Amino acid sequence: MEIIRTIADLRARLKRESAISFVPTMGNIHDGHLSLVRIGLGHAPFVVTSIFVNQLQFIQGEDFDKYPRTFADDCGKLEAAGNHVVFAPDEAQMYPERQFFIVEPPPIANKLEGRFRPGHFRGVSTVVLKLFNMVQPQVAVFGKKDYQQLSIIRHMVDQFALPVSIIPAETVRAVDGLALSSRNRYLADDERVEAPRLNEALRQVKAAVEAGDRNFEALEFAADALLARHRWHVDYVVVRSRRSLMQPDADERELVVLGAAKLGQTRLIDNLEISAPA
Ligand code: AMP
């Protein structure tokens, strides 16, 4: 596996490859990321994974400085999974000067995650567009774990006619249901025991909706209350249209329940797709 640090070296190396799958990450590689690499290998013979902690998508006061950076470990895991190139630009490669040209995503970017992390999806969209231009992949794999991100990236690719296919990947979980995340390592031992309850609350909503209950507000309220009783600070638990991430129409069946909540200092997100009965 090769580690490449500059755009010039990346371009020179990738000239030889005819089809590339791309997995953008912020590092601290876990089995969720590795599943994306494996999916990428199924779509193209050559896989590039990027590792870049993108300051542009962090909000003031968030964990940019303490975000786990475990580069040597990450490379070992990626190599074992069959990844070919790690592209790890430094700040000066990615942002040699202040980034003036910014991708402005649609209004949904100010809702859900965007409501609690203003500007986050502007930063995500901008760095992903830059990374796509650097790697020029045919395929890029994104996790459903970050459901709103996946949706916004798909929309961006569509509106800008970017020549890349976006492949969604299912969320990889610990056996107790907790979605794998780099931020899980911030959890204290007792918080780690409590953490699967976010998934449990979403599963209860999913089960009720799949059994025919469409009183979303009451279900959201019950999930909220369950978490609050166990010392979570809930940002949102909402049932949305998978297509628009807006409130579902009365007859809409392809739904998703999305949740975000803080346990102590650690903010966790999760979601589950729901197929409501006809
Ligand atoms: P991150 O490094 O957290 O920015 O994530 C990089 C990519 O990995 C994104 O497409 C995420 O959605 C995806 N990802 C993160 N956690 C998981 C998981 N538990 N299962 C599947 N994909 C994931």
Residues whose CB is less than 8 angstroms from the CB of residue 236 and which lie 6 or more positions away in sequence, other chains included: 112, 115, 116, 258, 259, 260
Q: Which residues pair with 46 in a beta bridge?
A: 20
Cα-to-centroid distance, 33 and ligand 1 (Å): 5
Nearest CA to ligand 1 atom 5: 25
CA dihedral of 67, 68, 72, 76, whole degrees rounded to 10: -110
Nearest CA to ligand 1 atom 7: 25
Name beta bridge partners: 232. 263
Q: Is 118 helix (H, G, I), strand (E, B) or coil?
A: coil
Question: CB neighbours (10 Å) of residue 185?
Answer: 12
The pLDDT, as a whole number, for residue 118 is: 98
pLDDT tens, residue by residue, 33-53: 999 999 999 999 999 999 999
Q: What percent of the chain has pLDDT over 90?
A: 100
> Does the reported pTM lie above 0.95?
yes
**Catalytically active residues, by annotation:** 33
User: Which residues lie below 8 Å from residue 247, measured CB to CB, with a gap of 6+?
Assistant: 240, 241
Kindly give the distance from the C-alpha atom of residue 11 to the centroid of ligand 1, in angstroms, as a whole number. 25
| Residue 182 beta carbon below 6 angstroms from any ligand 1 atom | yes
Residues whose CB is less than 8 angstroms from the CB of residue 245 and which lie 6 or more positions away in sequence, other chains included? 108, 111, 112, 147, 148, 151, 256, 258
CA-28 nearest atom, ligand 1: 2
Token pair recorded at residue 135: 């790697």
Give the pLDDT confidence of 216-240 residue by residue, as tens digits: 999 999 999 999 999 999 999 999 9
Q: Which atom of ligand 1 is nearest to the CA of 145?
A: 12
Confirm or reject: Cβ of 56 under 6 Å from ligand 1: no
pLDDT per residue over 78-96, tens digit each? 999 999 999 999 999 999 9
**pLDDT confidence of residue 158:** 98
- With a 6 A CB cut-off, is 143 part of the ligand 1 pocket? yes
Quote the mean pLDDT of the chain. Answer: 98
